[in-house]
Amino acid sequence: MTKRERVEGIENGKRMVERMTIENKLDDLRDATARLAGAEVKVDMLRDRKWILVEELKALGHDFTTTCEGMDVVLSAPPSMRF
């Protein structure tokens, strides 16, 4: 084997490792993206439930400004929501 053949073999090996690394990282990215999409759906569902409960508590006359939890709700509420 000549020196040139050895160098070309090493370069080809490096390219193969780079391709494998890229494919592994792309697989990880696909997995992370899918997991995030699932988590975002769950977060949206929880947010919807939170605001339904807030509206129900408001209708029952609850004063959100009297508790720490209530103030968290007040501070995170959209500007259109009145307390």
Q: Where are the domains of the chain?
A: 3-76
Q: pLDDT (tens digit, 9 = 90+) per residue, 19-50?
A: 889 999 999 999 999 999 999 999 999 999 99
User: Whole-prediction pTM value?
Assistant: 0.63
Cβ contacts of 63 within 8 Å, gap of 6 or more = 70
pLDDT for 52: 96
Does residue 54 have a pLDDT over 90? yes
Reported as a pLDDT band with limits 50, 70 and 90, residue 7 is: low
pLDDT for 44: 96
pLDDT for 46: 96
